[in-house]
Amino acid sequence: MVGMSGGVDSAVAALLLLRAGFVVHGLHMTNWDEQDAYCTAAADYQDARRVCEILGIPLHRADFAEAYRERVFGHFLREYAAGRTPNPDVLCNREIKFGVCLDHLLRLGGSWIATGHYAGVKHLHTGAQLRKAADQSKDQSYFLHAVTRAALGRTLFPLGNLQKSEVRRLAHEAGLPVHDKPDSTGICFIGERPFREFLGRYLRPEPGSILTPEGRRLGEHRGLPFYTLGQRGGLGIGGRSGAAAAPWFVAAKDPDRNALIVVQSPDHPLLLCDRFEAAQLNWLAEPAGSGWFDCAVKTRYRQRDLPCRVRRLDEARVEVALAQPARAVTPGQYAVFYSGDVCLGGGVIETTRPRREALEDCGFTYNRAFTAEGS
């Protein structure tokens, strides 16, 4: 059963599985139940239908909107209300595509679930192993790290060894009408709509002060949930007398004062972090022992691998020490660990720690007011 989104990637995934001799069915999921100018669900379904007709495979439809609102969107709103920055695509994969959708597939009698994700999966005698895609610029293993090993054990990623250009070429040669369809962007239920406008429909804005680290007031923010660490622009403060003619960046949130802390350098000490903690872990290749171990980590999608050391604090949390400070490590986002091309798993970034020495060099006190997201 191939998850048919209506895009070129899932279309070619189905094509390749047919050529490999599988009995293939398509499944088009509805995960969002609002129809407006920004929602492309109806058009995507028609694209999926046309592709399945050309390939000669059945297309099933399933509505998971209720489960999505409960398991993904509800969590998304709670995290933003708490001043954190969640990544709903990770939860969508775990809870919906490789959760309720996989259960639905099994009820229909399917043996494997396949998608157009750019990632690899090896089925070993010890269990499924998640790997990076051959096309590093499209690799989506970051978004798949929270999928359970049991679900990965029933998963195929036919595009794992292909470049995006090859995928479009195969679609064009097979006469699939989506061969030149643009890639979808943005969060799945938001699409291309203005993010603040969308979030404002669900969260009540609580304006507060925009401050420098020294406490100088520069203006007023719309509400802490509407900003994220490292953000440049959209602050509405422009140039200020006595300050350099340089852009401002969100460096921290202080929920006690409902204040947004901003600085004028993308590499300001408040934006640099060399240690953090992660929780809600899902290990796909669980490290042995309780001491420090070496690996690499990504703290956001399309980031280069960051060398690090990791140790367990308890069954639910780990501490991560980065070899070099990283910029804008953000609570609510995910830390995903790698050993070469193998994804070890990951968890939610809980607390971050700006570089103590750098803060002291700037004359700042290392305390709660100057830790990211108020942690």
Indicate which residue of 39, 52, 92, 273 is catalytic. 92
Question: In which band, very low, low, confident or very high, does the pLDDT at 289 lie, cut at 50, 70 and 90?
Answer: low
CATH architecture of 271-374: Beta Barrel (2.40)
Topology of the domain covering 2-173: Rossmann fold (3.40.50)
Q: Which pLDDT score is estimated for 233?
A: 82
Average pLDDT score over residue span 69-79: 92
- Whether residue 187 is predicted with pLDDT greater than 90 in this model: the reply is no
CATH architecture group of domain 206-263: Roll (2.30)
Looking at the chain, the domain(s) classified CATH 2.30.30.280 span 206-263
What confidence score (pLDDT) does residue 159 get? Answer: 98
| Mean pLDDT value across residues 22-49 | 84
Backbone angles phi, psi at 47, to 5 degrees: -65, -45
Q: What is the pLDDT of residue 56?
A: 98
Element (H, E) at 3: strand 2-3
Q: Which two tokens stand for residue 282?
A: 């899902």
Q: Cα dihedral sign for 89, 113, 5, 132?
A: positive
* DSSP H helices in the chain: 8-19, 41-55, 65-68, 74-81, 88-91, 101-107, 141-144, 149-152, 164-173, 195-200, 356-361
**Confidence (pLDDT) at 40:** 74
Task: Please say if the pLDDT value at position 49 is more than 90.
Answer: yes
pLDDT of 242 higher than 70:
no
pTM flag (> 0.85): yes
pLDDT band at 137 (very low <50, low <70, confident <90, very high): very high
Instruction: Provide the pLDDT for residue 365.
Output: 46
Residue 10: is its pLDDT beyond 60? yes
Confidence of residue 36 (pLDDT cuts 50, 70, 90): low
Residue 272: what pLDDT? 93
CA distance 279 to 42: 38
Which residue among the candidates 39, 52, 101, 188 is catalytic per the annotation? 188
Identify the band that residue 335 occupies on the pLDDT scale cut at 50, 70 and 90: very high
Residue 266 clears pLDDT 80, i.e. is over it: yes
User: Is residue 244 scored above 90 in pLDDT?
Assistant: no
- pLDDT of 184 strictly over 60: yes
Element (H, E) at 30: strand 26-30
The ranges of the chain annotated as CATH 2.40.30.10 are 271-374
Residue 361: pLDDT above 50? no
Segment (H or E) for 349: strand 342-354
pLDDT confidence of residue 370: 38
Query: Which range has the worst mean pLDDT, 8-22, 129-143, 199-213, 280-294?
Result: 280-294
pLDDT value at residue 17? 98
Looking at residue 281, its pLDDT comes to: 95
CB count within 10 Å of CB 279 equals: 15
Q: Which residue has the higher pLDDT, 286 or 70?
A: 70
Residue 308 or 365, more confident: 308
58-78: average pLDDT? 94
Question: Is 343 one of the catalytic residues?
Answer: no
The token pair that represents 135 in the structure block: 């096309």
Please, which residues have CB within 8 angstroms of residue 50's CB and are 6 or more apart in sequence? Answer: 177, 178
Residue 270 burial (C-beta neighbours within 10 Å; 0-12, 13-18, 19+): buried
Residue % of the chain over a pLDDT of 70: 87
- The model's pLDDT over 219-231, given as tens digits with 9 standing for 90+, comes to 999 999 989 999 9
Q: Residue 369 pLDDT > 70, yes or no?
A: no
Residues of the chain with CATH 3.40.50.620: 2-173
Assign 368 a pLDDT band (cuts: 50, 70, 90): very low
CA 231 from centre of chain: 17
Rounded to the nearest 5°, which phi and psi values hold at 22?
Answer: -75, 150
Is 92 catalytic? The answer is yes
The pLDDT score that the predictor gives to residue 363 is 46
- Helices and strands, counts by H and E, the chain: 11, 17
